[in-house]
Amino acid sequence: MGTVKKLIVEVIDAQNLAPKDGHGTSSPYIVIDFYGQRRKTRTAVRDLNPVWNETLSFNVGEHNEIFGDVLELDVYHDMKYGPTRRENSLGRVRLTSTQFVKKGEEALIYYELKKKSLFNMVQGKIGLKIYYVDEEISPAPEKVPENSAPQPEKIEEGKINEGEETKSTTEPEKVEPPPAPPSEPEPKTEPESEPVQEGAEDPVDALPLEAFEMAAASISRSNSEIRFSGPHPQPIRRSASTASFTSEASFDSMLIERSTFDLVEKMHYLFVRVVKARYLPTNGSPIVKISVSGYNVNSKPARKTTLFEWNQTFAFTRDAQDSSPILEIIVWDSPEPRLLGGVCFDVNEIPVRDPPDSPLAPQWYRMEGGGAQHGDLMIATWIGTQADESFSDAWKSDTYNHMHSKAKVYQSPKLWYLRVTILEAQDITPLTPLKEAWCQFQLRVQFGFQVFKTKTVVTKNNVVSWNEDLLFVASEPINVSDYIVFNLENRQPKASVTMGVVKIPLTTVERRVDDRNVGSRWFTFEDPKEEKNNGYKGRVHLRLCFDGGYHVMDEAAHVTSDYRPTARQLWKPPVGTIELGIIGCKNLIPMKTINGKSSTDGYCVAKYGNKWVRTRTVSDNLEPKWNEQYTWKVFDPSTVLTIGVFDSFSVFELDNSNTEITKEPTRPDFRIGKVRIRISTLQTGRVYKNTYPLLVLTHGGLKKMGEIELAIRFVRTVQRLDFLHVYSQPMLPLMHHIKPLGVVHQEVLRNTAVKMVAGHLSRSEPPLRKDVVFFMLDADSHNFSVRKVRANWYRIINVVAGLIEIVRWIEDTRGWKNPTATLLVHALLVMLVWFPDLIIPTLAFYVFAIGAWNYRFRARDPLPHFDPKISLADVVDREELDEEFDIIPSSRSYEVVRARYDKLRTLGARVQTVLGDLATQGERVQALVTWRDPHATGIFVILCLVVAFILYLVPSKMVAMACGFYYLRHPIFRDRLPSPGLNFFRRLPSLSDRIM
């Protein structure tokens, strides 16, 4: 049995359609066209809010190139119902196949109807569910008549008027059975290719391993082979007659394939691919020993079939200090070490392979020396770069081929918000008779490690009403064994008593992408002791749904890398791509000491959106070179790319373990540093190649761990106007504005999401450890820190410093410190008073002048990075650092905690005073008209009446000019005492005298 891929379109209903029959109604039906196939629904007679609930199926075809296809949905009014003679269009919807999802992720979405032509009047929405399914097909019959022909596929007609046929007066609107689509495959026994996984990035072009055929003819002796009779083989000479066979001096002219490794430096490697051997005089599992430039590497034992197979690739770094020009490949017997023979090459004459070239074909070489007189070894040797397709799976000399040292790409799990609305419960009775006439009920809801409780409700009539919303975080895939558990508890003085349990599988929960109401259901409580059925325990009224219209935060709001909602149907097309070249680090500090030797095993992790990348681990090197390049799609420029550098401790644990490690490493990886780059600060198409310091705040203060060199390029893929239009759109999805989440609530959900992402990535191979994920996602960014409080205060002062300068300039002008400037301000005042239309243009021009003046001081290379001065990390007190790194609950002594508490009380007293002063000023403004002070309110009300009469009688321009001249009067006409108005305001009462 095979499978065929289908596109399923469930036409649910429509809302608020336009009337077209001349009587205030319409008789709509829908025609859907996809991939040359047309399907039609039944006609809903005289209904502006029709309900169809019909399912239409379309063939997708054999190939996977469906992302350029368009599904067109047209809504027509049936001309048979009403005086009209033509089938008027009620609207159209065009959807690209990138908005379709696989079965299980579909949700009811209402699409706005668009005009089919300029003069159409359309309105309303159409509700659809669109998804892919794989349907099983029976195998093809053994015998098929020769003159049989495939029948054309029929249009699914409605069942209201079976004897009649819908006709159209215009050719484009005519609905007729089309011929079978040319891409529709005949039934096959082989299944179709699987659809692309939802939420994944573009697949990386990965080439399969080459399959090598054994040569049929015997190997002839050529000039490239040299026999030797001694114990060691002699170098093999090869001619360099083509461009591919060049000397090592031409390395600089070799080009790396663009768009994959054009941001990083070329790293040259000597590749050795050991495939298989034949005619070896042994029954064991021989190994291959490769020696070149001080490296001695052993292969894995051969797999014995008709031949001896290794199929293993090795990559050796090509440094300028290479001393040995000889490459030796020797085969040894195992388990008893016995030389079987070998082959030797001159490294200077090994061919150079350019990345666009095809893989180098391996050859049979006659082994010399040892006991294999007629043995042959199939190998391939070439010099390439990290752009070679064999590089990712090869043994590398700079990583020592540790299990946790390979470069990998990871995907964050797809996270959903699970909304649980608890409405009410009925027929609730306690298990045992209680003396009290009332009960206190509470629902305890548990999903995985997430537990929430409702408020406690008192009832006397066995009916409990909560009307509460609870939000959980769920990750895909959602299995049949995933349940959400509801426990009904009766709060008693001694302890809570569980009265009933409800388990709901998540596979039955509906998904939605907007704020429409989902259907609620009643669930019956079961016995919590899981005994035999003891009768009816009551029931609970619930409404559950997966909210796909939210973006599930796993990063801090100010450094997030993605704002897309969970539901893929709501994703907008990307606006560009970001390319990151991770070149290497310099001047790293030794992070650990193993057996008296200091070392650092560095690797780099980058995160943007749901895609994580990890470079290979360069072992025992204080200046590691990675030269790896990665690409992400950018959906919003106001996002942040995060790069972190770590020292691997798991490499050491693997070196010192005789058995395979199956448990998580005992020590975390050391944090070397982190870099953040905001995409909006990059100019499109420009390459930024900078060196960033790696700064870490430790218990001893700010410490520079080294430097990292990065190359970054942002490429815009949309028109400039479309790109600028993104700045006018909300960052968060619509549901965050329709039903916003509280700041505290959202932070709790973010901590849960971080734990789920860390748990998911730690199950990969090699794992991305939890401490690394927590550091990249700033899981501890909201811990209390006196340093951050002081830094944020200085940030506020820096923001208002501009306003303070303006106020100071006004006071200097008012004080006639610069008479020329004061006279110019008088002239400006007269102009703006008599021509008030110039106020806003003048202000806008002034802001433009400030922005143009500051253009000279714009930020240039290097890009903005962590600033120790703004963070106050270079002047922080050591005691404050110890408090910042302390865990909760505190692990310090009683005296230290008491001193910190007293200091916190002092800081709280200052904050309390500031809040009280702000409240006092606000209450004084309220006291102006609340008659809290009858004399003050009377004076204020009478003054308001006098001002009103004056403004009625005197032109407003004259009043504004008089007020301006009075404010700018010379100091000789002023009193040194505060103004009467300020004295009056300070005398107003507040509620501070009523606080105990």
Which tens digits make up the pLDDT trace of 261-318? 788 888 888 999 999 999 888 888 899 999 988 888 999 999 988 899 999 999 998 8
For residues 20 and 60, the answer to whether their CB atoms sit within 8 Å is no
Instruction: Give the separation between CA 72 and CA 713, rounded to whole angstroms.
Output: 37
CA distance 430 to 411: 48
The strand pairing partners of 689, in sequence order, are 711
747 and 609 in contact (C-beta within 8 Å)?
Answer: no
Using only C-alpha atoms, the chain has a radius of gyration, in whole angstroms, of 38
Q: Where are the alpha helices (DSSP H) in 696-742?
A: 720-725, 735-738
338-346/235-236 β-pairing = parallel
Please name every residue paired with 715 in a beta bridge, in sequence order, or none if there are none: 577
With CA atoms as reference, report the closest residue to 342 among 248, 493, 229, 232. Answer: 232
User: CA–CA distance from 979 to each of 920, 973, 974 (Å)?
Assistant: 20, 13, 9
Give the CA distances from residue 7 to residues 37, 38, 186, 567, 780, in Å, rounded to whole numbers and listed in that order. Answer: 11, 13, 17, 18, 45
Q: What is the pLDDT of residue 534?
A: 63
H-run or E-run covering 77:
strand 70-77
Nearest Cα residue to 472 out of 486, 452, 488, 492: 452
Q: Specify the pairing of strand 625-634 against strand 640-647.
A: unpaired
3-class SS at 581? strand
Q: How far apart are CA 68 and CA 102, in angstroms?
A: 17
| Contact yes or no for 583/618 (Cβ under 8 A) | no
Q: Is 549 left (phi over 0), alpha (psi -120 to 50) or beta?
A: alpha
pLDDT for 156: 40
The Cα angle at residue 657 between residues 652 and 658, in degrees rounded to 5: 150
Spatial distance between the Cα atoms of 468 and 445, rounded to a whole number of angstroms: 12
* CA separation for the pair 263, 356 (Å, rounded): 17
How many CA atoms does the CB half-sphere of 166 hold within 13 Å? 30
Q: Are 549 and 570 in contact (CB under 8 A)?
A: yes
What's the CA gap between 605 and 409, in Å, rounded? Answer: 10
pLDDT value of position 993: 84
Closest among 355, 331, 357 to 274, alpha carbons compared: 331
CA–CA dist 129, 11 (Å, integer): 7
pLDDT score of 533: 60
Both tokens assigned to 610: 């749901």
Chain-centroid distance, C-alpha 968: 56
Neighbours of 462 (CB within 10 A): 14
Residues 50-60 as b/e (b if ≥16 CB within 10 A, e otherwise) read: bebebebebbb
Contact 331, 370 (CB under 8 A): yes
DSSP labels, 154-185? PP---SSSTT-----SSSTT---PPPPPTTPP
Q: Phi and psi of 507, rounded to 5°?
A: -70, -15
Q: Rounded to whole angstroms, how far apart are CA atoms 863 and 714?
A: 13
Helices and strands per DSSP (H, E), number in the chain: 14, 41
- By the 10 Å C-beta count (0-12 exposed, 13-18 middle, 19+ buried), 353 is classed as buried
The pLDDT of residue 238 is 41
Q: Is the dihedral of CA 723, 728, 731, 737 positive or negative?
A: negative
Is the pTM higher than 0.85? The answer reads: no
Q: Which residues of 7-36 are buried (b: 16+ CB within 10 A; e: fewer)?
A: bbbbbbbbeebbbbbeeebbbbbbbbbbbb
CA atoms within 13 A on the CB side of 245: 11
- Phi and psi, residue 240, nearest 5°: -110, 75
The per-residue pLDDT for range 732-741, each reduced to its tens digit, is 999 999 999 9
Q: What angle do CA 502, 507, 513 make, to 5 degrees?
A: 110
Which pLDDT score is estimated for 761? 93
pLDDT, position 373: 74
Sign of CA dihedral 317, 322, 324, 326: positive
Q: What's the pLDDT at 162?
A: 36
Burial (CB < 10 A; 0-12, 13-18, 19+), residue 41, is buried
Burial of 358 (0-12, 13-18, 19+ CB in 10 A): exposed
Q: What are phi and psi of 627, to 5 degrees?
A: 50, 50
Domains of the chain in sequence order: 3-136 (2.60.40.150), 268-397 (2.60.40.150), 414-547 (2.60.40.150), 568-652+666-777 (2.60.40.150), 786-994 (no CATH)
The β-bridge relationship of strands 308-317 and 109-112 is unpaired
pLDDT along the chain (996 residues), means of 10: 83 90 86 88 91 90 55 89 75 86 86 82 90 77 49 39 37 40 40 38 36 32 35 45 34 42 86 92 89 88 90 84 78 86 89 80 88 85 88 84 79 94 84 56 92 85 86 90 90 82 92 89 85 73 93 91 92 93 93 83 94 91 91 94 90 50 64 92 91 88 91 94 92 92 91 94 89 90 82 89 88 90 90 88 90 84 78 83 82 87 88 91 92 92 93 89 89 85 90 84
- Beta-bridge mates of residue 709: 584, 691
DSSP bridge partners of 468: 422
CA distances to 91, 96, 173, 368, 737 from 125, rounded to whole Å, are 9, 18, 21, 79, 21
| CA 824/CA 830 separation, integer angstroms | 10
Q: At what angle do helices 786-814 and 894-926 cross, to 10 degrees?
A: 30
Pair 405, 619: CB distance under 8 Å: yes
- How far apart CA 87 and CA 21 sit, in angstroms, is 10
The sheet with strand 625-634 has its strands ordered as: 625-634, 576-586, 701-716, 687-698
Angle at 145 between CA 142 and CA 150, to 5 degrees: 100
Length, in residues, of the chain: 996
Q: How far apart are CA 459 and CA 852, in angstroms?
A: 68
Beta-carbon contacts of 846 under 8 Å, excluding residues fewer than 6 positions away, are none
Q: How far is residue 398 from each of residues 314, 358, 602, 900, measured CA to CA in Å?
A: 11, 25, 11, 48
Among residues 477, 543, 560, which one has the least CA distance to residue 733?
560
At 528, list the tokens.
């919590």
> 899 in the Ramachandran plot: left (φ > 0), alpha (ψ -120 to 50) or beta?
alpha
* Nearest CA among 345, 338, 342, 369 for reference residue 229: 369
